[in-house]
Structure 1
């Protein structure tokens, strides 16, 4: 009898307003206008409590503390269309206004009390103690949360009743400023673990690692997408639904003692960041590009920058101005007066408009994406709310004539004290008063080079003429190899290029100087501030990803990513590989019906792309091979319903069988020795389709390529598992 002959074993206008109501990405953080409101019965002095008003859909609530009011401004008309008085007994508290559609919440960050305003009646409809000092409250896409940053407690609330909605979650305190993304998901930075924790519908999700434990993390929501900046490591993490992208930032970012300053919400994909010494960085999350811009007054005290349209608005509290940088022109525009020097500047982006307010001032600003400015008279009496009765205010030392935000101190940008009210302070005096003003440079990197664009300053009268513009290093020496080497003194601007640089994490720093003939005809320089960039930008994701299954693996191909000096990192469960090419072989996968996910990420010295993934199912039934029977000369060969000698019998090959069978796959099991020829041994079993049924037989009796050698027939025949 041959070998296995025994049983085997197992085997229009209104349309515009509707558009604005739909798009609330810019109003989804509790960064609404930090002011000093007094929270109480808002019906004081505004007529009958039952009066109902229709407020503009495109607008914002603003504090008007000098006269004890909170007003609603119409952004399109540039006018106040609703107002309410506040109770004077609570003056001096710090209040945030949280706005999302018809949800308007007042947060007393001194006491942790949250109150809801009914915009249709201009009155508070409820209040609740929701935490302690420093409480965060966020609202967006119909959801609302309270976050006790000190205790680490995250609680979803009903935005109408303010009552808790579901169980609370406790994270490791202290927590960073949180945000709500474009799909209503809450993101909470946890610096102690270096992670940002998501919540959806009140349920905690899987944390995303943004840095190391103890790193300085800051969060913004850019065009609805979370962006986490790790100031300690000078990196940014863009958290997209299909994965994260890590981007290397210029090294000076890590010098910011308390981390970079960013807006809680960015209207588009550009995230502005204010670093140490007033350095301004612009991260374009769409293409992974980082630009740095030199400030002309780096020693002023600034709030976080904001972007609307092509302009970056940097609140300068020292001067009481908005500094305006036009990214299309690469130049600073005329500053916009916003408040008294040293006053409070509250800035929020909402409904595709930028709102600027001084709670103690009489005017607020509304700016549209084109840079047009509407000045809003907050105390105009011809608005809904009836005739305002005077509110008795008992003066207290240091209070002035209204509510006041303390301003200054850590977390307000800059390290210099804010001067008292008066004339705007002048920039630091130049060593040579007759030296020309320096140009404004912008640095960005790509393809192993750095481009430094510059715009000359408009020179005042009485200064030496500029003879030429040159590129200097951070050490104030001329840069050799810059192209071109110089620009004439009357040039309207230009771009210096320094090539042949390594695409790594190193930041290359430069200045653009106006050269002139100074005293005694000697050559002198008027240098700009320092700008820096890495020599490439983070690559884009691979495209046209394809995967072809092979036995226990796959062949993966893709199209080249955008970017310079790119390496592709291919990962799968249980393995990884890297290549400079556009294909890779994946091995060690289990055959069967399991779907295997393979991810490809483009990487260079400037960061990573978002990973691109594809799934492949290794189904042996799709790769059968037809072979003939053999070694069946002396008797019949037993077939089994499962793999191995002890599996139940299920028919036979007849004696002398050499006909065709379809081999589906092979698997290792019991060793079989042929009784006619003991030299023939094998522990390989074939899963076959024979006689219209699937059965198992020892590989000794099917003429696969390696049947007489007792090994797998790979690569023609796949393994079963």
Structure 2
């Protein structure tokens, strides 16, 4: 599986979801460094919330040191999200619907506004920002003043989590209609169908392009800049997510989308939205309660999954085909906020002082949000938020929430920075045991089994058994099918198998069996994978012109891998489900160019890449001699009829004439040859065109038009 590494794309928007309640938000200033000087915040860094102190701090991403703090932003215990995009830093009270803007150069809150909407989302898209009320309204706002810009956009609620693409367009899922809606410069664009009405939709902007996961249909749809869609088939197990849908981040810096299917297996998928390849593993191999895990993130070759019950991040390294050591964020239960910014991953315990920053190599640095060396605050009085009409425009106040407790998670409305999902206080967490770990002498079961779909194959990787002396590992495939290579792996590795062949329309699971002197130990079944990937572009696509049609031909994609592939044709002609590698198109207009686009599809989905070809139906001109003038001159007519004359061919003279095309006209009976025909030839004549009856030309016979000539269509 080709996994795209982060590109440091600073255009990617960061969003935050907020929840029910009401609270006045105030601000106070803290000097950092020399109190009389302007603060010097690191260019590579992030703002982190601390509800215990009601403060927000800025940390250097390269050192982990805190270099700025604003105290008394909210009463201790409140839950705020931090939305940061370039120089724009917004604090969003999840319960109250109150938004404040931070001026980083002055370490102060300069603007606060009450949007009067519970669970509001604030999304920054380029130079614009949006307030998304999940009840069904999207309002563009000025990120500096927080005031409305233009009229709100009304959509059927409840809305899914919105995100902005690399071009500054906001994408809003509308599950009720099964569509996503683009909004640019505050104006609604053409809705894009991605699922059936009512399907749970999870949106991730990956590498600047929207990717929507429909859990009910087990399908992912990528939307390209030109509006075209590419569909990928996900494992059937994705449907187990139910109405709540899957967990995925709002944005990723590369094309890889991590998808967590909530449930006892904790199935984690890594979808490469550029190629459609899927790698997967079960997090139940590493944690006792995968159902309590939060929204995954990716950085480098690792996926990071928040485990709030243990205050840590579970780390799966798909390049090393195994679980890396967990990253401990806090020693207490913590609702972890996890996000990627400028090529670094941040994990923050919003309710405590724990936080870490992780680089692409997996090295973690601890952030001390309570750093004592940061100068103490210079407080200013609290300011009341400026009330404004909420995104719904009805002026209704948000319901109060005196307890300050966060709301329950609502599927696709999870926030960015992402938070853990329905976490519970930690209890004793026993290490998961596997079959075959009953005694120190025997070998334990193989672990960290992962599968990855490839063209015509499934790649299997696993970690070795612990304890005992394994003689060899074998692989059991269900249902039976395909050829396993090698037949066995030695106890010292390498710990990989390949299952070649099989049916692309079927899903296969594998079990790794460790064989030792006293018996065997079997791993838990893997996730289900197909022995195929979404096909690449068809090769050698050509369009051969013929009269009023074209003969199209191509070769199967290079990564088809023997899978049954069908093709979808669009452009001058449309046709889905084409089998084989050729297709004839009828009904085209001559004297025009016709463009065709071809896309391949198999049971794994559609390829993003397409092939293009052009059929040029220009008239094929050919020279033929005139005929039938032994008795008289041959008149050249101005049109396909017997009237008028623009020239003559003298009696008895025969010469080649260039025929442009043929058409129907007046019927002519030629006495000399006894032939009757209503076919006329358009010929080149004295720098222009003229017309001769077919009875007066030595053109091919037998059809209209007579090949290789085309019919006149102009």
TM-score range, shorter chain: 0.7 to 0.9
CA apart distance, 1:575: 4.2
Distance verdict in 2 for CA 1:81–1:657, change over 3 Å: farther
Q: Does 1:695 align with 2:690?
A: yes
Partner residue, 2:268: 280
**C-alpha distance in 1, partners of 2:419/2:138?**
31
Q: Does 1:191 align with 2:175?
A: yes
* CA root-mean-square deviation: 3.9
SS in 1 for 2:15: coil
**C-alpha distance in 2, partners of 1:650/1:528?**
89
Partner residue, 1:15: none
Partner residue, 1:248: 233
Q: 1:317 aligns with which of 308, 315, 333?
A: 308
1:292-441 aligned at under 5 Å gives the runs 292-295=280-283, 296=285, 297=287, 299-300=289-290, 301-383=292-374, 386-387=377-378, 405=406, 418-421=423-426, 425-428=429-432, 433-434=438-439, 436=444, 438-441=446-449
Q: 2:140 touches 2:148 (CA, 8 Å); kept in 1?
A: yes
Q: 2:538 touches 2:554 (CA, 8 Å); kept in 1?
A: yes
Summarize deviations over 1:334-373 as a string: whole Å, max 9, x none.
1111134542010011100101001121131111101111
Summarize deviations over 1:406-438 as a string: whole Å, max 9, x none.
6778677999974435x6522456686537354
Partner residue, 1:715: 708
Partner residue, 1:117: 102
Partner residue, 2:388: none
**C-alpha distance in 2, partners of 1:94/1:498?**
49
**C-alpha distance in 1, partners of 2:650/2:375?**
99
Which stretch shows the higher mean deviation, 272-281 or 284-293? 284-293
Distance verdict in 2 for CA 1:660–1:205, change over 3 Å: farther
Partner residue, 1:82: 68
SS in 2 for 1:133: coil
**C-alpha distance in 1, partners of 2:486/2:626?**
78
Q: 1:452 aligns with which of 448, 451, 460?
A: 460
Q: 1:66 touches 1:361 (CA, 8 Å); kept in 2?
A: yes
Distance verdict in 2 for CA 1:596–1:438, change over 3 Å: same
Which stretch shows the higher mean deviation, 711-720 or 345-354? 711-720
**C-alpha distance in 1, partners of 2:52/2:20?**
11
Distance verdict in 2 for CA 1:620–1:457, change over 3 Å: same
TM-score (normalised: structure 1): 0.82
Aligned length: 672
Q: 2:245 touches 2:411 (CA, 8 Å); kept in 1?
A: no
Distance verdict in 2 for CA 1:144–1:21, change over 3 Å: farther
Distance verdict in 2 for CA 1:683–1:259, change over 3 Å: farther
1:640-651 aligned at under 5 Å gives the runs 641=638, 650-651=646-647
Q: Which runs of 5+ in 1 are unaligned?
A: 1-19, 392-397
Q: 1:674 aligns with which of 653, 658, 669?
A: 669
CA apart distance, 1:69: 0.2
SS in 2 for 1:711: coil
Q: 2:568 touches 2:575 (CA, 8 Å); kept in 1?
A: yes
CA apart distance, 1:37: 12
Partner residue, 1:7: none
SS in 2 for 1:256: helix
Q: 1:194 touches 1:215 (CA, 8 Å); kept in 2?
A: yes
Summarize deviations over 1:386-405 as a string: whole Å, max 9, x none.
556999xxxxxx999xx764
**C-alpha distance in 1, partners of 2:20/2:311?**
16
SS in 1 for 2:231: strand
**C-alpha distance in 1, partners of 2:521/2:225?**
50
**C-alpha distance in 2, partners of 1:76/1:294?**
32
Distance verdict in 2 for CA 1:433–1:715, change over 3 Å: same
Which stretch shows the higher mean deviation, 189-198 or 327-336? 189-198
Partner residue, 1:625: 622
Q: 1:181 aligns with which of 153, 160, 165?
A: 165
**C-alpha distance in 2, partners of 1:348/1:69?**
19
SS in 2 for 1:532: coil
CA apart distance, 1:194: 2.4
Partner residue, 2:499: 498
Q: 2:573 touches 2:596 (CA, 8 Å); kept in 1?
A: no
Q: 1:449 touches 1:499 (CA, 8 Å); kept in 2?
A: yes
Summarize deviations over 1:245-288 as a string: whole Å, max 9, x none.
32222211111122221111122222211113301111123332
Partner residue, 1:205: 189
**C-alpha distance in 2, partners of 1:645/1:163?**
77
Q: Does 1:231 align with 2:224?
A: no
Q: Does 1:148 align with 2:133?
A: yes
Q: 1:37 touches 1:93 (CA, 8 Å); kept in 2?
A: no
**C-alpha distance in 1, partners of 2:187/2:637?**
51
**C-alpha distance in 1, partners of 2:706/2:297?**
65
**C-alpha distance in 1, partners of 2:82/2:58?**
11
Partner residue, 2:393: none
Partner residue, 1:602: 600
CA apart distance, 1:538: 1.4
Distance verdict in 2 for CA 1:586–1:429, change over 3 Å: same
Q: 1:439 touches 1:514 (CA, 8 Å); kept in 2?
A: no
**C-alpha distance in 2, partners of 1:93/1:640?**
91
1:125-164 aligned at under 5 Å gives the runs 125-130=110-115, 132-151=117-136, 153-164=137-148
Distance verdict in 2 for CA 1:479–1:652, change over 3 Å: closer
Distance verdict in 2 for CA 1:88–1:168, change over 3 Å: closer
Partner residue, 1:684: 679
Partner residue, 1:6: none
Distance verdict in 2 for CA 1:441–1:555, change over 3 Å: same
CA apart distance, 1:620: 2.5
Partner residue, 1:57: 43
Q: 1:34 touches 1:96 (CA, 8 Å); kept in 2?
A: no
Q: Does 1:539 align with 2:535?
A: yes
CA apart distance, 1:32: 8.6
TM-score (normalised: structure 2): 0.83
Distance verdict in 2 for CA 1:696–1:130, change over 3 Å: farther
Summarize deviations over 1:140-163 as a string: whole Å, max 9, x none.
332322322222x33333322334
Distance verdict in 2 for CA 1:187–1:50, change over 3 Å: farther
Partner residue, 1:72: 58
Q: Does 1:527 align with 2:523?
A: yes
**C-alpha distance in 2, partners of 1:168/1:230?**
27
Q: 2:457 touches 2:498 (CA, 8 Å); kept in 1?
A: yes
Partner residue, 1:471: 475
Distance verdict in 2 for CA 1:526–1:145, change over 3 Å: same
Q: Which runs of 5+ in 2 are unaligned?
A: 1-5, 383-400
**C-alpha distance in 2, partners of 1:642/1:75?**
80
**C-alpha distance in 1, partners of 2:578/2:149?**
49
Distance verdict in 2 for CA 1:652–1:282, change over 3 Å: same
**C-alpha distance in 2, partners of 1:683/1:109?**
80
CA apart distance, 1:546: 4.2
